[in-house]
Amino acid sequence: MNKVVASAAEAIRDIPDGATLMIGGFGLCGMPENLIRALVAQGTRDLHTISNNVGVDGLGLGLLLAAGQIRTHVGTYVGENKLLEQMVLSGELKLDLVPQGTFSERIRAGGAGIPAFFTPTGVGTVVAEGKESREFEGRTYIMERALNADYAFVKAWRGDKWGNLVYRKTAQNFNPMMATAARITIAEVEELVEPGELDPNLIHTPSVYVKRIFQGERYEKPIEKRTVRKNA
């Protein structure tokens, strides 16, 4: 039951070139910073990433992008990343943009063992191109396939040595869903505690989904854009 590894480097040691990775976070909130940095250092290449966005220039998944380690990406948002724009337009990286609600449901379906589902989102747009469509009660729906991955990187506020996780506030975002949808889920936490120290009623991700866990060494927690409201 002890799933603790010593470091991020040890946690990702067996990830091969060409792996499919789900990486939690929304913008820079709740992203697994230590795991991303370790993967950059390891130099694993030709990765297929699934994440809401690709970080920003020089931060988060932007580090993997700058190192040329990502081959394809499935996500919902591309803002604040000039390098990503350049790589997509030049054909260096294949990008699959998905409506955010559909993206979430594809991951949830993958974790629940549901291979596909129908949604009205995207009907009549480029999103529907090449996809099966059906009519239900007079409305057209398109079929979307579930998303799964070889590995999921998730970041939690607290976790115990069995792998139970508690996320803090908006850092929940995509982390809980991704933890269920990968063959191997690796969790980094700000605080690692002994089994029994977490309130069972507050656990977001049960230990059954987590294969490896460690306490992160450094959390920068950058703010993408700081705004100051002037006094009226």
Q: Specify which residues 158 forms β-bridges with.
A: 166, 191
Q: Is the pLDDT of residue 187 over 60?
A: yes
Mean pLDDT of 51-55: 92
- Give pLDDT, residue 81: 83
Q: Is the pLDDT of residue 224 over 60?
A: no
Q: What is the pTM of this model?
A: 0.92
**Which amino acid appears at position 184 of this protein?**
I
Mean pLDDT of 180-204: 97
Are residues 35 and 63 in contact, defined by beta-carbon separation less than 8 angstroms? no
In the chain, what are the domains?
A: 18-97+148-215 (3.40.1080.10)
Mean pLDDT of 79-93: 87
Mean pLDDT for the chain?
A: 93
- pLDDT, tens digit, 9 for 90 and up, residues 155-186: 999 999 999 999 999 889 999 999 999 999 99
Are residues 111 and 180 in contact, defined by beta-carbon separation less than 8 angstroms? yes
Q: Is the pLDDT of residue 231 over 70?
A: no
- Give pLDDT, residue 226: 62
Cβ neighbours for 112, distance < 8 A, ≥ 6 positions apart? 180
- pLDDT, tens digit, 9 for 90 and up, residues 114-165: 999 999 999 999 999 999 999 999 999 999 999 999 999 999 999 999 999 9
Q: DSSP assignment of 196-225, as one string? A: T-S-GGG-SB-GGG-SEEEE-S------S-
- Give pLDDT, residue 97: 94
Q: How confident is the model at residue 79 (pLDDT cuts 50, 70, 90)?
A: confident
Backbone angles phi, psi at 131, to 5 degrees: -110, 150
